[in-house]
Amino acid sequence: MAPPNPSPLLPDPDATEDGAADDAEDPDAAAAAETRERTVDAALHGLRLDKALVMLAPEFSRSHLQGLIGRGHVRLDGQPATLAARAVRAGQRLTVELVPTEQARAFRPQAIALARVHEDEHLLVLAKPAGLVVHPAPGHWSGTLLNALLAHHGGAAVLPRAGIVHRLDKDTSGLMVVAKTLPAMTALVRAIAARELRREYCALAHGDVGAAPFSVEAPIGRDPRSRVRMAVSAQGRAARTDFTPLARAHGASALWCRLHSGRTHQIRVHLAHRGHPLLADALYGGAPLLGLARQALHAARLGLTHPASGRWLQFEQPLPPDMAPAWQQVSPGDPFATMRAQRG
């Protein structure tokens, strides 16, 4: 049994922050497993059990087969064989239940509620809650936005990444746009590449960033010291963020942020680079403050040209309940109204 082709699935670096995958067995996966049997012959005699399994099921990685051994899916002469280093002997009956890999099972629909802000036949604008992973990736092979989209409409199954054209970090809340057709996806991807999609955020950062608006234009690449972090790097890709300070209090600054590019962790990296990490952003040195338990970042405004009608659409999403109280302690009132007042 060859696992389904996972080529449309792009790993989400934002989703790797929470560590290793859950080893709990999935009953549906076990039910879907193919069983293979082989009598150990001279070619296999004396091999480690895991190496013998590679001969029996070469389409699976050795590490995945070792996992099947550890979880009791392999038998020798009808008895569980749970030691990968055990040598097999000629004449033994080797049996394996080939439970699909986590990645192969990631592309499946799951009934997960979506907070729809706007929807038509071409696109969906939604409010992503903090804690929801966008793409399946190690540690998060299910329960993602992609799984929800596959259940939401049938067309998602034939679109790359189920129509996802940009992402938010797992612990960032707010607005996202998703394509529902291939022409809409093509148009949105091109708009993002041309920096025509307008994305604005509310953020709470440590310290006093000052009163004057400022921009950070600094390339971002993978941090060579940590695979889950990004960093300002001369070898990185160009990135620019505009920041408008709205208020300062209680050791924090409230900022309105506009992306001009969409690098991984861009706002988080640019603020940390200036010495002002987001509140509760442990990955970039931001300590918890004002009751926040996750990074203080919310995608508040999204503007785009509709891929079919050509009309300009703009959406606003209020701060969610977990971030609003912290924001009010620093900048009382409506952040949208505060920003409009700043612009005059």
**Residue numbers annotated as active site:** 169
Chain position carrying tokens 């009382």: 332
Strands 116-119 and 312-316: unpaired
Q: What region does 174 belong to: left with phi over 0, alpha with psi -120 to 50, or beta?
A: left
- Given a contact cutoff of 8 angstroms between Cβ atoms, the answer to whether 200 and 241 are in contact is no
Burial class (CB in 10 A: 0-12, 13-18, 19+), 85: exposed
What is the DSSP-derived secondary structure letter of residue 342? H
Distances (CA, A) of 90 to 39, 66, 94, 97, 116: 8, 21, 10, 21, 60
∠ CA 151-170-219, nearest 5°, is 125
Structure-block tokens of residue 129: 């809650």
